């Protein structure tokens, strides 16, 4: 902890982390993700650059520095530990945890973080199957294959649903598509990419937007 970052700064760092999985983030991307104007992003990015949390060249996009990445991972650890805690200790459903964790993540102490981690048995994954960064900034391994890319007739297990869209999560729940559910790919719509999957006796059609956010393990 070099110095206290404002909540706003933390939100930007977190947003940039999420947007730079593959290459630098544009000003517009960040603005869209945070629902602020592009001008606001430019000015905040300038501040983060001065704090050495991001690298930025005008008109060329933004990337986190090592220090910035560490900050992002710490926030992500808070967020995902909270999600799991809300789920396991307080009975929140997986579609409810995100919003509450979002509000709390900036306000818990290191001590609180340590205590809930301990109560949870030092967990590696949150209720969506997303990895919880360790205290020293390492990321537990995760499956990276998308349901969208599975083959017809293949059997797969849902290991991660990387979405904060509560409506989508509830829809999956209603069809019995939870973490660790095994399903078989029945058919694929050549035009839209939508998949029909077989979950036990149920057949469910999932459009591409959904199948791209579901990560699987092949059987």
Binding residues for its own copies, rule: CB under 8 A, are 86, 89-92, 96, 99-100, 103-104, 106-109, 111-112, 115-116, 119
User: For the purposes of burial, counting CB atoms within 10 Å of the CB of 66, is it exposed (0-12), middle (13-18) or buried (19 or more)?
Assistant: exposed
Q: How far apart are CA 64 and CA 16, in angstroms?
A: 7
CB of 52 to DNA, least distance (A): 16
Binder among 16, 41, 101, 216 for DNA (CB under 7 A):
41
Kindly tell me which of 88 and 209 has the beta carbon lying closer to its own copies: 88
The helix (H) or strand (E) run that includes residue 55 is strand 54-56
91, interface contact from DNA, its own copies, none, CB < 5-8 Å by kind: its own copies
CB of 72 to its own copies, least distance (A): 20
Please list, in sequence order, all residues whose beta carbon lies within 8 angstroms of the beta carbon of residue 29, skipping any fewer than 6 positions away.
Answer: 19
Kindly tell me which of 38 and 89 has the beta carbon lying closer to its own copies: 89
**Which of 43, 164, 44, 143 is CA-nearest to residue 97?**
164
202, interface contact from DNA, its own copies, none, CB < 5-8 Å by kind: none
Q: Tokens 């997986």 sit at which residue?
A: 94
Residue 151 interacts with DNA (CB under 7 A): yes or no: no
CB of 189 to DNA, least distance (A): 27
Binder among 18, 33, 47, 67 for DNA (CB under 7 A):
47
Q: How far apart are CA 201 and CA 204, in angstroms?
A: 10
Kindly tell me which of 48 and 156 has the beta carbon lying closer to DNA: 48
Residue 2 interacts with DNA (CB under 7 A): yes or no: no
Q: How far apart are CA 210 and CA 206, in angstroms?
A: 6
**Which of 166, 193, 169, 196 is CA-nearest to residue 184?**
196
Tokens of 53: 């949390």
Which residues make up the interface to DNA (CB under 7 A)? 6-9, 11, 26-29, 34-47, 56, 58-59, 61
């Amino acid at each position: 902890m070099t110095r206290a970052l404002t909540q706003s700064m933390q939100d930007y760092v977190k947003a940039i982390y999420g947007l730079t999985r593959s290459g630098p983030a544009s000003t517009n991307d960040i603005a869209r993700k945070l629902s602020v104007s592009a001008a606001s992003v430019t000015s905040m990015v300038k501040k983060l650059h001065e704090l050495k949390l991001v690298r930025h060249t005008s008109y060329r996009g933004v990337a986190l520095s090592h220090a910035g990445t560490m900050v992002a991972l710490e926030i992500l650890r808070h967020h995902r530990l909270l999600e799991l805690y809300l789920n396991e200790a307080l009975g929140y459903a997986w579609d409810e945890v995100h919003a509450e964790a979002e509000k709390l993540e900036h306000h818990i102490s290191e001590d609180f973080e340590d205590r809930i981690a301990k109560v949870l048995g030092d967990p590696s994954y949150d209720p969506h199957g997303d990895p919880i960064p360790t205290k020293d900034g390492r990321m537990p391994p995760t499956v990276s294959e998308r349901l969208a890319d599975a083959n017809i007739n293949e059997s797969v297990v849902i290991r991660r649903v990387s979405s904060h869209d509560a409506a989508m999560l509830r829809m999956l729940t209603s069809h019995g598509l939870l973490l660790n559910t095994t399903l078989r790919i029945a058919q694929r719509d050549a035009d839209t990419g939508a998949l029909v999957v077989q979950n036990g006796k149920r057949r469910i059609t999932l459009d591409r937007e959904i199948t791209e956010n579901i990560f699987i393990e092949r059987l």
